Structures are given as C-alpha cells and as structure tokens.
Structure 1
Amino acid sequence: MVETTADSLLGGRVRLLQPAKGHRAGTDAVLLAAAAPVKPGDVVVDAGAATGAVGLMVAARERAAHLVFVERDPVLAELCRRNGNLNQVNAHVAVADLLDRSSWPDAGVFPERADLVLTNPPFLEEGRARISPDTRRAAAHALPEGGLEAWMKACIGLLKPKGRLVVIHRADRTADCLSALGKGLGGVELRFVHPSADQPAIRVLLSAVKGSRAPLSVLSPVILNGADGRFTPHAEALHRGEVTLP
C-alpha cells in the first residue's frame, strides 16, 4: 500500500486520506467543487477522481446528490472508497479509464446519465512537456498526445442532454479547452483565477451545458492572494466552504 496522510478540507468538514507523495488535493479541487451548481437528486460524476476530494466537497454541500467517482488507478480508487466511508457519503466508485470507453460498463459507468460532470484533467501532454518518471505522478499529471480533447469528449459523453460540464485547467490552455468542447455544448462560462490582482491568470474554470445555444460569457475573476501574500477574504471563505462560485 502507498503511504498516506490524513488531511481535511473545507475547514474540517471533509476528511481525506491521500498519498503522502505525488498529486495531492489543494486549491484547484476547492475551486472546482465551489463552481459546481449541484441540486438535490443530481447525478454527479467526479471524472478522474483520484482520492475523491472534489466529489466529497460537493457531497458536503449537497447530501442529496448521487455521486459517481471515476478513477483508473486501483490504489487511488480504494482510497476514494475509504474516504467515502470516512465522510459517510454513499457513492459509487468506478475503477475505469475515462479514455477507454470499453472499460466503462463493467465498472458501472454509463453514457448520458449525469446531470453534472466535474473534472480536473491532467494538465500536461506527452510531447509538450517533461513528464515525471514516477508512474503514479505521471498518470495524474499527464495525458497522451492529443489527450485533452479525448478527455473532454469522454466527459461530454457522460452528460445527459442539458447536463453541465465544469472543468478547471491552466489558463494558458483555455483555447484548447474551448476547442475540445466541439459544437455540442453552449452557454459557456469562463472564470479566471489570478494569484493576485496584478498578476496574469493561472487557472480557468470553464462551465458549459450540453445542447445549449446560449452565448459565451466571462464571469468575475477569483483573486487568491492580497498584497500581503495571504489568501483574500473571498479565497479564505472558499477554502472553508462558506461561499461558492455561482
């Protein structure tokens, strides 16, 4: 078994076992969960769930949602199951490769069932960045060449008509994310995340609705840190789970 640490999110409302080394949940997961417009009874898929941080934070806000975690790494999937039990969240954990649809049915993953799909895709692609030699870290951070489009299309395939996709990615990949949506989604909303008010955006939160024809809009940005280098009051409240990103 991998060495783990016991951590918490949202001011202690979510307990999280996660690997001591490699990819660990942080601000990206908090922002993605805060941007999820979840309603009672929604089927919510956390795609590429790792240890389940995003879905668990959504469940902490809306207990009546039906959570599905999709993770291809069996070790991380097992930690996700344990985290569900720790947080008393009744969810389905599917050990399946998002990019290999043939692995979906046996894992209990079916297309066009989700009201909401949340995803933090691996940020790197082979051939475009230096990939870690650590297998688990590389799997969490890197996709095969052209993999972002395949990842996004897989997520779209999970959505029912009028379902919503919410993604967090690097701000410099915004054009790639928009291109990967294709023509099947509309009502696109972009919200950029800046480390401070005077610095360029480092992340983008993208939301879109399957089958919508509404125009694109750009929402107010998130500023993480003030002039003193500490979280802004808004960022602090997001990390405590006191506010969301509507």
Structure 2
Amino acid sequence: MAETTDDSLLGGRVAVTQPAKGHRAGTDAVLLAASAAVGPGDVVVDVGASTGAVGLMAAAREKNARFVFVERDPDLAELCRRNCHANGVEGEVAAIDVLDKAARLGAGLAAESADWVLTNPPFLEEGQARISPDRGRAAAHALPVGGLEAWLKACTGLLKPKGRFVMIHRADRLADCLNLLVRSVGGVALRFVHPAADQPAIRFLLSGTKGSRGPLAVLPPVVLNGPDGRFTAQAEALHRGEAFLT
C-alpha cells in the first residue's frame, strides 16, 4: 500500500488515514456530509467512499444509523475499514464497482434498501480532459464514457421510495445531472458553492427525494473564502462540525 497520512476532520472528531498523494478528503467531503440529516436507524450508503470520510462525518452526527461504504479500489476500501474501526463506526465496506450490478447484489446491496445515498462521483468521463497520471487520483476523478448516467442510476436504484439522495459535483455538470435525475428524484434542492462572493460557483450540492414530485428550490449559497482569503465564518463552522446545511 502507498504511503499514508493520519489526518483529522470536523475539528478532530473524525480521524482518517488516507493516501499521502492522490485524491484526499477535503472541503467537498465536508459539505456533502453536512448536507445529510441522517436519523437514528437509517441505512446510509456512501458511494465512491474512498477512505470513508463522508460516511464517517455523517456518523459523527448520528452514530445510531447503519453505514455502508462502497469503494472499488481495494487499498482504499481497506483503509476505509480501518477508519471505521478507529472511529468506532460498525460500517460495512463493499470493495466493489458500484456500476457492476452483479457485484452490488453479491455484496448485499439490494435495490431500494437505503434511506440515504451520499455520493461524490468522479467528476470526469474518459475523453473529457487529460486524466492525472496518478492511478489513485485518476480512478477517483474519471468514469468510463456514459459513466455518470450509470453511476446516478445505480445510486438512485439503491434508494427506498422516499429515500434521500445527496451529491456534490462540479458546477459545469449541473445540467447533465439534472437531466439524468429528473425521472427518479424530485423535490430537488440546489446549493451552489463559491470560492469567494465575487467568483462563479465551482461546485453544487444537490439533494432530493426518490419518487417526489416536489418543485426545485435554490437554497442560499456557501461562500468558502472572505476577502482576506481565509475561510468565512460559515465555512469554518462547517469544517469544524459546528454547522450543517440541513
């Protein structure tokens, strides 16, 4: 296994061992976890979990839920298992490709079994941009052609009727995601993430309910940095686990 570092999230409430190089948990994971109001007894599936940061941060808010982590890279899946143990979370880790239906079933991920699906999909598809030469970063950032549609279909397929779906993605993929989710998720709430108040959004957070016919709502944005280049009060509170987006 590659070199790792021991890091903390949410002001030290969550410990994660993760690769020293490649894709590492950061602001995207914090915002995604902060957008899920998980309740006691809920079944929560973290799809594309990497080392488990999103699910573990959600568990720090509500430990009396069942957490399932889906990660195709076996080394990251093993780190996820270690991180669950280190944080006292009895999580189930499925070292499978979520796009593989047979693998999902073999891992016990039945259709319509989750109350929540949280996901930070790989942002790119093959051919859209130059992919990183780092194997871990490339795997985290790129899907096969048509992979985003398959990823979202797999995610929403895991949800129970009225289950909640939450994702974060690049702002320039918003139209694609809305088009792909329109038949499965409704009552969509969008929240844009801006690096600064005078700069365009770089991410969006999307949440919705499976089978809902509710209208789309645009929520107040998250602005990460103030004029001094430091985190805004809201961003700092989110990163320390002292504020939520629900």
TM-score tier by shorter-chain length is over 0.9
| Counterpart mapping for 1:55-204 below 5 A | 55-204=55-204
Query: Amino acid of the residue matched to residue 177 of structure 1?
Result: C
- The reply on whether 1:11 has 2:11 as its aligned counterpart is yes
| Deviation per residue, 1:162-219 (Å, 9 max, x gap) | 0011000001110011011131211011000000110000000001110100000000
TM-superposed deviation, 1:110 = 1.5
Q: Which runs of 5+ in 1 are unaligned?
A: none
Q: Aligned partners of 2:186, 2:107: CA distance in 1, in Å?
A: 30
Q: Aligned partners of 1:89, 1:44: CA distance in 2, in Å?
A: 12
Aligned to 2:83, the other structure's residue is in SS state helix
| Deviation per residue, 1:57-106 (Å, 9 max, x gap) | 00000011110000111100000000000000011101111111111122
Aligned to 2:150, the other structure's residue is in SS state helix
Q: Aligned partners of 1:150, 1:130: CA distance in 2, in Å?
A: 22
Q: In structure 2, what is the equivalent of residue 238 of structure 1? A: 238
Deviating above 4 A after TM superposition, structure 1's stretches of 4 or more consecutive aligned residues are none
Q: In structure 2, what is the equivalent of residue 207 of structure 1? A: 207
Q: Aligned partners of 1:103, 1:135: CA distance in 2, in Å?
A: 22
Aligned to 1:162, the other structure's residue is in SS state strand
TM-superposed deviation, 1:17 = 0.2
Aligned to 1:145, the other structure's residue is in SS state coil
Query: Amino acid of the residue matched to residue 25 of structure 1?
Result: A
27-36 or 100-109, which moves further after superposition?
Answer: 100-109
The root-mean-square deviation of aligned C-alpha atoms, in Å, is 0.8
Aligned to 1:138, the other structure's residue is in SS state helix
Aligned to 1:72, the other structure's residue is in SS state coil
Aligned length: 246
236-245 or 181-190, which moves further after superposition?
Answer: 181-190
So what's the TM-score if we normalise by structure 2? 0.98
Q: In structure 1, what is the equivalent of residue 44 of structure 2? A: 44
Aligned to 1:69, the other structure's residue is in SS state strand
Instruction: State the percentage of identical aligned residues.
Output: 73
So what's the TM-score if we normalise by structure 1? 0.98
Query: Amino acid of the residue matched to residue 91 of structure 1?
Result: G
Q: In structure 1, what is the equivalent of residue 33 of structure 2? A: 33
Aligned to 2:213, the other structure's residue is in SS state coil
Aligned to 1:241, the other structure's residue is in SS state coil
Aligned to 1:229, the other structure's residue is in SS state coil
Q: Aligned partners of 2:192, 2:120: CA distance in 1, in Å?
A: 15
Q: Which runs of 5+ in 2 are unaligned?
A: none
Q: Aligned partners of 1:215, 1:182: CA distance in 2, in Å?
A: 11
Query: Amino acid of the residue matched to residue 8 of structure 2?
Result: S
Q: Aligned partners of 1:237, 1:26: CA distance in 2, in Å?
A: 14
- The reply on whether 1:226 has 2:202 as its aligned counterpart is no
Q: Aligned partners of 1:200, 1:150: CA distance in 2, in Å?
A: 28
TM-superposed deviation, 1:136 = 2.1
